Amino acid sequence: MSNQNNFLQQTHLLLEQKTYDKNDVSLLREVLQFHEQQYYELDSPLISDRQYDQLFTALLQIEKQYPDIITPDSPTQRVGKNASPLFTTEQHLVPMLSLQNTYNEGDLLDWNKRIADALDTPYTFVIEPKYDGASISLVYENNQLKRALTRGNGIAGDQITANALQVYGIPQEVDFLSHHLTQVELRGEVLMSKKSFEQNNADFLAENKSAFVNARNAASGTLRMKDSREVKKRNLTAFVYHLSYYQLQNEQQQFTCEKHHQCLDLLQQLGFQIAEKTHVKVVSSIAEVIAYCKAFEAQRNNLDYDIDGMVIKINELKAQEQLGMTSHHPRWAVAYKFQSYRAETILEKIEYQVGRTGVISPVAKVKPTRIGGVTVSSISVFNENNIQEKDLRIGDTILIERAGDVIPNILHALPEKRNGSEQIIHFPTQCPSCQMPLMKNADEAHWRCNNVVCEAQMVERMIYFCSKDAMDIQFLGESKIKLFFQLGFIKNISDLYQLPFDRISNLDGFGEKTITNLQQALQASKNKPAHFLLLGLGIPFVGKTTAQTLCNAITNLNDLKTMSIESLQQLEDVGPKVAHSIQHFFSHQHHLLLLTQLQQQGLNFTTTKNNNNIDGTLSGKSFLFTGTLQNRKRSDAEQLVKNLGAQISPSVSSKLDYLIVGQDAGSKLEKAKKIGTVNILNESQFEELLHQKNA
């Protein structure tokens, strides 16, 4: 059971909650960040947009109620994850935001009401297909393609210009100057047609290569290939759907387009592909919008490309400018998401997996069934309650759904199709790995194996310890850990630092270079900051934020051995459940022995809390950054002031010393102006302040 499954378990538990409070913030952020990584970086979403939106809205509401807990890296304050490390990154001219999702007629009516309340002039709508591919931005200067970027984190993306030029519909030269435009930034979607998807997969299978899972992943993965010649072979195509920025030759000239649909016409005249005219519709009422979206959904399967909904935009460009945007999405556009794909299949058996924290996760093995372009054979059922609520039985005909590119979900059984041979599912009372009795706390929905030396747990803990989210030990992934465990080379985390490399070198695939890489990666991990080690220990309910919070309150990880429940609960993000979990972990002899072994092996137990340059020239000052900086990344700027002794404030208040304002600053700037005591600096003034303090 992988780290992915642990996050899915946490996701499901959060989705089952009816209400959320301040104690849920840390877990909500980490779960949302995990799913953003799955979507934006790995092109492999694991939950539906509706489920993501439920958790996102929950976090947003808590942060509105408690604005002081808002942090710059909260999912509500940005779009997606960072760009891929395999490519250089560059900034978009205008932030490349997500779209707010709607799912039914009521959602669209609510959105239109907000538009009507905000505008004092008439407006119309443009409706376009929402292509399900890889988002891209194109910058042209003096008619030449200057760069092509992926979405990335919304502020900056991967520079993939060479690959983009191999995509049909992305010309290298376009006559923008004939329309007095010296620089433009376009938004588009790179797609692989259904026909090309099937052909590419057939070619791969003939060459004994792995086939693509779906066309969206295929398009996104192809754009990130190192060899642009291989990109051309994949037969990708691009549709342009938005002109996000333009610069005229001189200030006296005016842009000829006043409406979005006119921009689309212009781009088509210049040689770009846009959605077919018969698929784009301009209407004047929200009733027409709703009717068109429902009618188009009925023909979605007849298109050459995958779409997962429609995009509705306010047509008038001045109205778009007046409505503006949040840090997450434009207010003048929404996506209307189509209903998920559904199919019937047979529930053949239930398998039970053991996670690193002892959670037992049932997985339904179903008759392989094609749904939404993917063959499904395994579906997570999450816990015993879910099995009982849906009255699932072995041999049942079940209804499953798959929304977009996400993992499938069992909706319910079809009891009318039972023939009497179906078997009631009895959840195991013993761990499937170590056979110890399973336990379930009154406030939890899942059963656990509390045997800390359970082999299945030990393996999963080692996998998590080495993962990118924790100690990030490169070259030591899941397959190697399982192999070393099976061969008896390792039994627990501390054994990772005592691998018998003389024996490993005799295995196939472990040459001198591989051994050296492993040795260097393990040695480098010993110097990782203590909060990564604390996170890597796999304490139930302790995620990234909580691990950092704990390390900010101590000077050495061993201090946690003596902290009381009461003192733990005084820390931010630490509620009763988390506090009891921490104390339980540090009171168990097995874990105490592990800590001793890791410390003896040279891992870093000392936190950096008290090494924060207390004598720095900005000691005692608080900073907050808003908007997009042009000269450096926001994270780099934050680290610079931290190095000078300052702290990063989570929100604007009378206690804030400096607000650093970049481009497209939002509500934080207005709030700081109202307070009146906050020092508001633009980027050049901030750079001058740094120069003075470093002098």
Tell me what pLDDT residue 405 has.
Answer: 53
For residue 43, what pLDDT band results from cuts at 50, 70 and 90? low
* pTM (predicted TM-score): 0.65
The token duo for 202 is 């057939």
| pLDDT above 90: residue 439 | yes
The residue among 682 and 573 whose pLDDT is bigger is 682
The token duo for 324 is 């503006």
Contacts of 62 (CB under 8 A, 6+ apart): 20, 21, 22, 24, 25, 28, 69
Determine if residue 156 is left, alpha or beta; phi over 0 gives left, psi from -120 to 50 gives alpha, anything else beta. Answer: beta
Tell me what pLDDT residue 437 has.
Answer: 97
For residue 436, what pLDDT band results from cuts at 50, 70 and 90? very high
Give the start-end residues of each E strand in 554-656.
622-626, 647-648
For residue 42, what pLDDT band results from cuts at 50, 70 and 90? low
The letter for the amino acid at 201 is N
| pLDDT above 50: residue 549 | yes
| pLDDT above 60: residue 612 | no
| Complete DSSP assignment for 31-73 | HHHHHHIIIIISS---S-HHHHHHHHHHHHHHHHH-GGG--TT
Give 579-599 pLDDT, tens digit per residue.
Answer: 999 999 999 999 999 999 999
Whether the CB-CB separation of 521 and 473 falls below 8 Å is answered with yes
The residue among 663 and 243 whose pLDDT is bigger is 243
Whether the CB-CB separation of 334 and 99 falls below 8 Å is answered with yes
Angle between helices 194-206 and 215-223 (to 10 degrees): 70
| pLDDT above 50: residue 611 | no
What is the arithmetic mean of pLDDT over 269-295? 95
For residue 1, what pLDDT band results from cuts at 50, 70 and 90? very low
| pLDDT above 50: residue 8 | yes
State the Cα–Cα distance between residues 331 and 536, nearest whole angstrom: 40
Tell me what pLDDT residue 615 has.
Answer: 53
The letter for the amino acid at 205 is L
Angle between helices 105-118 and 286-297 (to 10 degrees): 150
130 is catalytic: yes
Which of 61-65, 114-118, 513-517 is predicted with the least confidence, judged by mean pLDDT?
A: 61-65
Contacts of 371 (CB under 8 A, 6+ apart): 341, 342, 343, 400, 401, 402, 408
Q: Which of these is catalytic: 130, 337, 480, 621?
A: 130
Which of 69-83, 272-286, 295-309, 401-415 is predicted with the least confidence, judged by mean pLDDT?
A: 69-83
